[in-house]
Amino acid sequence: MKKTKIVATISDYKSSHEYVKALYDNGMNVVRMNTAHIDREGATKIMNDVRSVSDKIALLIDTKGPEVRTINIDEDLNVELGEKIKVSGDLSQKNCLHVNYPGFINDVQPNSKLLVDDGEIELEVKHKDDTFLYTEVTNSGIIKNRKSINVPGVSIKLPSLTAKDKDFILYAIENNIEFIAHSFVRNKQDVIDIQNILDEYNSPIKIIAKIENQQGVDKIDEILDHAYGVMIARGDLGIEIPAEKIPSVSRLLIKKCIERKRPVIMATQMLHTMIEHPRPTRAEISDIANAVYNRCDAIMLSGETAYGKYGVEAVQTMSKVASEVEINKDKRNDIIPPINYDTSSFLAAKAIEAASEMNTTAIVTDTLSGNNARYISSFRGEMLVFAKCYRPRVMRELALSYGIIASAIEPHSNRDETIRASLQSLVKNNCIDKHDTIVYVGSSYGIRGMASFLEIIDVKTGIGPKNEENLMGLIGPKDK
C-alpha cells in the first residue's frame, strides 16, 4: 500500500459512479471540486457520485478566493510586442482592457508587471493616473476574457472571500464536506474569515490554505496557527515568485507543515501531459518522485482527472511512482517534528522508534479527533498506521495524512475491549496477520482522552482466546 495520498479533481460533466470508482480503486483518496468551474448543481452531482462509491473518500471544495481577472472581452484580443494598452477597473471607461477589481489602479504602481493568463502575456506598467494604468506589451499573444492577472510583488487589497466563495462555504456546511481549500491565502486573517463562518454554524470543516503568492510564503507561520493544512499551488505561485525559487520555497513549506504536524499537498501540473497523452514525461515522473522524497502528505491532479483523456491512467501512474519511491526513500531527507513535550507527540515519536527497533509490522491507534494518527503520521515512519476512528468524518479527514489507513470503529467500554476489537477488525480485513506484532498507541482515559500509553502487542494474544471463534477460521487447530 502506498503511503502518499492522492487528491483528484473531478468535474461535473465527467463525474460518474464508474469513473469515481475507477479512480478510487487505483489509489485516489480525496476528491477536489473546483468552484471556479462548477455551480451548486454540479457539485451535488459529484458529491453523490463520490458517496455512492465509498464512505472513505474525502471531499474538498476549492474556493476561487481574491483574484483579478480580465472581463468584458467579447472577442479575443491579439496583442503585439510594444503595443500600448490602457488598463482600468472602471467599466464605464472605453478603449481599454477591463479588470474585475475597481481598486486595481490604486494598488499597482509604475514598473510593475501584469502577467495575464498564467504569464502567457506580460504587460509592463509605464505610468498611471487616476483612471488608467498605461502599459506596454512585452510579448505578442492573445488576451482572452475571464483570464487571471497576477502582479508579482504587489499586495492586491481584495477581500478574501467573494460572494460565490461564501455561497460555497454554506454549501459545504449544508452537505458535510470534509475540507475547504481557500485560494490565495495571504495571512492568518484570510483563514480566520472562513473559520468565523464555520464557527457560526458550528461546522467541523477543516481549512486548507492554498499558498500561491509571496505574502502567503512570508506569513506561513501565522497561517499554520489557524489552518488545518496547506496546499502548495505552484501554478500561481510560479508566476508570483521567480520560477527557479519554487523548489526551495516548496521544500520550506513542506518542512514547516511537517514540523507543525499539518497535512501538506503538492499541486499543479504533476502529470499535465496526460491530459492529452497516455504516457507522462520523465520530468513529470521526477516531479512526483521529488514530492514524495520531500515527504508531502498528498499529491494532486487537476486537469488530468477533471477533463483529461487519461484520468484513471494518471492516478495509476501516481500510485506506482509513490509506491516505488516510498520503498527507496533516503532517511537523510527526513524532517523530524519537535516533540513539544506533550504526551501525544512523545508517544508518536516513540511509536515510530519502537516499530523499527522491535521488528513490528504496523502501528495501530484509536482516535476520536484524528490527532493521535496525525501526530504519528508527521514522523513519516516506514510502517503503515492503522487508525480506528470513532467518527466516520475523522476517518475521511485522515485521507489527507501520510501513511494512515483509517476505518471506523464503535466505542467500547474499556481499553482492552477497544484494542481487541481493533485488532480483530484488522485481521478480518487482511490488514494485519494474526502472527504479527504491532505497536499500539491509545488512551487509558476513554475515547475522549489524549494518547497516554504505548504497547507492543502480539496480535494473536491481543485478540484474546474468547474471541478466537469470531475470526471465521483464521486461527486453526494448530494455533490453539
Active site residues: 32, 69, 210, 268
**For the chain, how many residues are written?**
480
- Please provide residue 57's backbone torsions phi and psi, each rounded to the nearest 5 degrees: -85, 125
CA separation for the pair 7, 204 (Å, rounded): 20
CA distances from 123 to 3, 140, 214, 334 (A): 44, 10, 20, 42
> What angle in degrees, to the nearest 10, is found between the helix axes of 311-327 and 282-293?
50
Burial track 228-248 (b if 16+ CB lie within 10 A, e otherwise): bbbbbbbbbbbbbbeeeeeee
- C-beta of residue 302 within 8 angstroms of C-beta of residue 181: no
Region label for 294, one of left (φ > 0), alpha (ψ between -120 and 50) or beta (otherwise): alpha
- Please provide residue 102's backbone torsions phi and psi, each rounded to the nearest 5 degrees: -60, -30
Query: Which amino acid does the sequence have at 65?
Result: G
Query: Which amino acid does the sequence have at 465?
Result: P
Cell of 97: 482592457
Instruction: Write the burial class of residue 131 (CB in 10 Å: 0-12 exposed, 13-18 middle, 19+ buried).
Output: middle
Angle, CA of 268, 273 and 276, to the nearest 5°: 120
Cell of 34: 473546483
- End-to-end Cα separation, the chain, in angstroms: 31
Q: Which residue in 339, 359, 340, 341 sits closest to 349, CA to CA?
A: 339
CA separation for the pair 367, 388 (Å, rounded): 6
Query: Which amino acid does the sequence have at 15?
Result: S
> Which helix (H) or strand (E) element contains residue 88?
strand 84-88
CA separation for the pair 175, 240 (Å, rounded): 34
- C-beta of residue 321 within 8 angstroms of C-beta of residue 288: yes
Question: At 475, is the secondary structure helix, strand, or coil?
Answer: coil
Query: Which amino acid does the sequence have at 176?
Result: N
